[in-house]
């Protein structure tokens, strides 16, 4: 287990994060960096966006406090986050964003400990990162959803790193968890003070992907993918649904299961966010308790298959009830 810093150290970091976020929220109000609800939105009131900038502050704090540990990862995370923030302010063309993401991820995989891996592994890693970044971005939309869901895998990573196998810096994990808890105070409520925005969702998606890849390489196992099961299924099957309907998958929509529950069945944001968090947390706990019993690829695929059937049946039943209403 990596030696942890003093409590005072984390109190100081939390103070910097809180001050930084409060300053940003005042700037967002003055510069009108806000999210206006539209026909595809799951919220009804104008809300500040870009609160996920706290993750960029966290990355800078970690970079300085760790004496520039993991430089490639931190720099690429900052670059992707900054691009997301520009998109929050200017609404960039998706092609520009995708090209920038590809170049940044390509740079990451060409440096550090990755450049000695086989080419096919690098391709798989590339698609995992690009998918994670955009899935988290597509799935962000209701109060508390991304923050609570991120806590489910961040805490799981910390438990693995601290008590099972050290694969990253615990200090990094704790700083990111701290930033998640702080932004949660402003977002996990009936009327959110701010949304994460692209800057938050993209940065957190990148953090998940990098941690997952690092653990996969360290353990030579695909099992860490299970920590993203719920989001992967909802996003993946929704993309398939839209492709079959010949829709542009890059355009905004309201077809995710969580959107169906919030917009059509009128469940509260916090209830739906709690459901997603609870299901993923239960999956994570079950896996962690059986971590020593390494899941074979067949079992892992079977788990994805079973949950896919449950997801598709649930969505079919809910849509059918709407059609009959």
In tens, the pLDDT along 204-248 reads: 999 999 999 999 989 988 899 999 999 999 999 999 999 999 998
- Provide the token pair at 282: 């239960």
Average pLDDT over residues 307-312: 96
pLDDT digits (tens, 9 = 90+) for 117-140: 788 889 989 999 999 999 888 777
pLDDT range class, residue 2, cuts 50, 70, 90:
very low
pLDDT at 257 over 60: yes
Q: How far is the C-alpha of 165 from the C-alpha of 1, rounded, in Å?
A: 8
What confidence score (pLDDT) does residue 75 get?
A: 96
Cβ atoms of 171 and 2 closer than 8 Å: yes
So what's the pLDDT on residue 34?
Answer: 85
Average pLDDT over residues 98-103: 96
Mean pLDDT across 273-299: 90
Helices within 44-188 (DSSP H only): 53-65, 71-90, 94-109, 119-139, 145-159, 170-187
Q: What is the structure's pLDDT at 44?
A: 58
* Reported confidence tier of residue 193, pLDDT bands at 50, 70, 90: very high
User: Distance (Å, rounded) from C-alpha 287 to C-alpha 274?
Assistant: 20
Residue 198 to residue 177: CA distance in whole angstroms: 18
Banded pLDDT at 6 (limits 50, 70, 90): confident
pLDDT given at position 287: 92
- The pLDDT of residue 104 is above 70: yes
pLDDT at 1 exceeding the cut of 90: no
pTM equals 0.92
Mean pLDDT for 45-63 is 93
Task: Give the whole-angstrom CA distance, residue 206 versus residue 209.
Answer: 5
* CA 180/CA 30 separation, integer angstroms: 24
Q: Is residue 43's pLDDT more than 60?
A: no
Judge whether residue 153 has pLDDT over 70. Answer: yes
pLDDT at 167 over 80: yes
Percent of the chain surpassing pLDDT 90: 71
Judged by DSSP in three states, 296 sits in coil
């Amino acid at each position: 287990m990596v030696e942890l810093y003093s409590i005072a150290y984390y109190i100081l970091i939390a103070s910097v994060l809180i001050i930084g976020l409060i300053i940003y929220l005042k700037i967002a109000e003055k510069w009108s960096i806000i999210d206006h609800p539209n026909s595809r939105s799951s919220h009804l009131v104008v809300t500040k966006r870009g609160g996920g900038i706290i993750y960029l502050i966290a990355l800078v704090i970690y970079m300085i406090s760790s004496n520039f540990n993991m430089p490639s990862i931190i720099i690429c995370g900052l670059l992707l986050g900054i691009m997301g923030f520009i998109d929050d302010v200017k609404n960039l063309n998706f092609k520009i964003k995708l090209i920038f993401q590809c170049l940044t991820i390509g740079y990451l995989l060409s440096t550090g400990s990755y450049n000695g891996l086989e080419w096919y592994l690098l391709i798989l890693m590339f698609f995992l990162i690009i998918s994670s970044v955009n899935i988290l971005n597509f799935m962000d939309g209701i109060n508390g959803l991304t923050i609570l869901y991120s806590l489910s895998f961040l805490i799981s990573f910390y438990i693995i790193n601290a008590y099972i196998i050290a694969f990253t810096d615990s200090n990094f994990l704790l700083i990111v968890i701290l930033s998640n808890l702080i932004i949660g105070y402003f977002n996990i409520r009936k009327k959110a003070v701010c949304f994460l925005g692209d800057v938050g969702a993209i940065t957190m998606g990148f953090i998940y992907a990098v941690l997952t890849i690092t653990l996969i390489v360290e353990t030579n196992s695909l099992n860490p993918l299970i920590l993203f099961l719920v989001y992967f299924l909802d996003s993946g099957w929704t993309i398939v649904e839209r492709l079959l309907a010949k829709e542009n998958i890059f355009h905004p929509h309201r077809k995710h299961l969580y959107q169906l529950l919030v917009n059509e069945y009128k469940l509260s944001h916090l209830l739906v966010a709690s459901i997603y968090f609870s299901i993923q947390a239960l999956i994570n706990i079950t896996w962690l308790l059986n971590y020593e019993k390494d899941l074979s690829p067949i079992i892992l695929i079977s788990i994805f298959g079973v949950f896919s059937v449950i997801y598709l049946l649930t969505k079919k039943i809910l849509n059918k009830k709407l059609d009959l209403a």
